[in-house]
């Protein structure tokens, strides 16, 4: 990514990421579709409401892996193979430890966290079952994300796509088999997801250990380098803390949604699944921006970083708004795929109609944060998003729902906070000192 046409490079890198993340999103979406159709709205609410909890469990470690990816990209851009190798093996050791810890915490504390979220009693048994089985596959999920991060840091977005295509196809088959044929309910959907994740992790590490890639993982080198670990944590902890606190904020938001009943839970959960799909191009463009920025700063191509930043942010904002307009128009059809219950569909449509037209603000915030992370300035997006997406959003919802007890108030919190974060990011980037501080 350090030479050639910037636009072509970003698109060529982002497109396989988009397809790969599309298949990644299929995991939970297929769970929701199959469970909603074969097990009813109660089971759909249980699976849908687990999304925020899933992100809470894995969000911290995914944020740390952002730091690892930035470090690997930087060493790769500087052509320092020895440091790159140490960063990769240290990251894998961290992932193994993190995956085991996540699984244990998830299994042990699922009921407690679900009660904190205000999960209705009629949904609780299915929610506990689904998430506990899901947690058994967290080690595979963490390892896959580690392999995926290594591929992306080194400019390869194709191999993760191949592995996800295989795993997602398997997940669809197993979902239908376990839920529709064997009648295992939400547990069957969770088992299908866990098996699919394990397959993708195995395929990814098999290639990384084969010697056919620019980097090779070997068992003999799997030991932590503490100086490298310190760098990884320095770059990744802010993103990890950000993800965790945002996840906690989302749990607070979810608890407010839960208060409106299981129809609201199912409808808003369906909206979230669709949003995860339709916003994928933006997510992938921002991942490309992070890798692009990190590699070019490692190679000291500063003018190229500035040009890539302007082009990447403009492309992201335009595409985000196009997606938002299409979602606004197609919301009845898309939400209706998840449930045939009119009340459930109505909640999902209402949320889409409030939020979708403001996706350009969300895209701008994510693009700015991606550039700053690629520059190693992870504390800046952490500070902005914690202040606005957590403190302001929760305060707004807490006060306004009491004044106006309508679920639309919860939905309006998102465009309001997206606008505020966009203003702050614009001011930060216009100062231009984020790159100077990195150097």
∠ CA 255-411-365, rounded to 5°: 105
CA distance 225 to 104: 25
Structural domain includes residue 1:
no
Task: Measure CA 304 to chain center.
Answer: 27
Give the range among 55-69, 349-363, 369-383 with minimum mean pLDDT.
55-69
Question: Is 82 strand, coil or helix?
Answer: helix
How many CA atoms, within 13 angstroms, populate the side-chain half-sphere of residue 380? 24
Structural domain includes residue 181:
yes
Question: Is 153 strand, coil or helix?
Answer: helix
Residue scoring higher pLDDT (33 or 111): 111
Number of domains in the chain: 1
> Is the pLDDT at 332 greater than 50, yes or no?
yes
CA distance 1 to 78: 12
Structural domain includes residue 338:
yes
Which one, of 373, 388, 389, 386, lies nearest residue 429 by Cα?
373
pTM: 0.69
Structural domain includes residue 210:
yes
Model pLDDT, residue 415: 93
Chain segment 32-71, per-residue pLDDT in tens: 778 877 887 777 777 766 666 666 666 677 777 777 887 8
Which one, of 10, 92, 20, 21, lies nearest residue 295 by Cα?
10
Structural domain includes residue 348:
yes
By the 10 Å C-beta count (0-12 exposed, 13-18 middle, 19+ buried), 218 is classed as exposed
Model pLDDT, residue 25: 65
Mean pLDDT score of the chain, rounded to an integer? 82
Tell me the residue range of the domain where 10 lies: 6-438
Structural domain includes residue 206:
yes
Structural domain includes residue 125:
yes
Mean pLDDT along residues 291-304: 81
> Is the pLDDT at 438 greater than 80, yes or no?
no
> Is the pLDDT at 418 greater than 90, yes or no?
yes
Mean pLDDT along residues 408-436: 85
Give the range among 82-91, 166-175, 298-307 with minimum mean pLDDT.
298-307
Helix axes 41-48, 124-135, angle to 10 degrees: 50
Model pLDDT, residue 439: 38
Give the range among 89-93, 148-152, 368-372 with minimum mean pLDDT.
148-152
Query: What are the residues whose beta carbons fall under 8 Å from the beta carbon of 108, sequence distance 6 or more?
Result: none
Give the range among 19-28, 59-68, 145-154, 292-301 with minimum mean pLDDT.
19-28
Instruction: Give me the DSSP letters along 244-297.
Output: HHHHHHHHHHHHHHHTT-HHHHHHHHHHHHHHHHHTHHHHHHHHHHHHHHHHHH
pLDDT band at 28 (very low <50, low <70, confident <90, very high): low
Structural domain includes residue 90:
yes
Q: Which two tokens stand for residue 58?
A: 């894995």
């Amino acid at each position: 990514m350090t030479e050639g046409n910037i636009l072509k490079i970003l698109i060529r890198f982002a497109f396989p990421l988009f397809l790969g993340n599309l298949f990644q999103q299929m995991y939970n979406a297929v769970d929701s579709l199959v469970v909603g159709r074969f097990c009813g709205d109660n089971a759909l609410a249980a699976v849908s409401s687990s999304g925020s909890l899933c992100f809470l469990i894995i969000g911290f470690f995914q944020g740390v892996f952002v730091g690892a990816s930035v470090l690997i990209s930087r060493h790769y851009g500087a052509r320092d193979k020895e440091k790159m190798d140490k960063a990769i093996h240290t990251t894998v050791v961290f992932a193994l430890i993190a995956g085991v810890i996540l699984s244990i915490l998830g299994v042990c504390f699922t009921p407690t966290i679900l009660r904190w979220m205000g999960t209705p009693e009629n949904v609780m048994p299915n929610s506990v079952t689904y998430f506990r089985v899901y947690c058994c596959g967290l080690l595979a999920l963490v390892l896959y994300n580690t392999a995926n991060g290594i591929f992306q840091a080194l400019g390869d977005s194709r191999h993760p796509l191949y592995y996800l295509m295989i795993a997602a196809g398997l997940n669809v088959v197993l979902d239908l088999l376990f839920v529709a044929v064997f009648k295992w309910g939400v547990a069957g959907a969770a088992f299908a997801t866990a098996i699919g994740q394990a397959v993708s992790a195995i395929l990814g590490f098999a290639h990384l250990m084969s010697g056919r890639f620019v980097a090779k993982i070997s068992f003999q080198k799997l030991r932590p380098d503490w100086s490298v670990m310190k760098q990884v944590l320095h770059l990744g902890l802010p993103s990890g803390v950000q993800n965790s606190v945002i996840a906690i904020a989302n749990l607070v938001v979810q608890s407010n949604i839960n208060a409106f009943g299981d129809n609201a839970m199912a409808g808003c959960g369906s909206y979230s699944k669709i949003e995860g799909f339709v916003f994928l191009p933006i997510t992938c463009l921002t991942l490309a921006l992070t890798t692009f920025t990190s590699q070019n700063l490692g190679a000291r191509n500063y003018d190229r970083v500035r040009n890539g930043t302007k082009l990447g942010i403009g492309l992201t904002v335009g595409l985000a708004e196009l997606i938002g307009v299409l979602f606004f128009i197609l919301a009845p059809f898309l939400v209706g795929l998840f449930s045939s219950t009119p009340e459930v569909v109505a909640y999902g449509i209402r949320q889409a109609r409030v939020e979708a037209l403001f996706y350009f603000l969300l895209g701008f915030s994510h693009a700015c944060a991606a550039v700053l992370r690629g520059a190693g300035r992870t504390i800046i997006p952490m500070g902005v998003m914690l202040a606005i997406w957590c403190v302001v959003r929760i305060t707004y919802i807490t006060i306004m729902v009491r004044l106006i007890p309508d679920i639309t108030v919860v939905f309006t919190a998102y465009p309001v906070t997206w606008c505020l974060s966009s203003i702050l990011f614009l001011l930060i980037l216009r100062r231009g000192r984020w790159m100077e501080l990195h150097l």
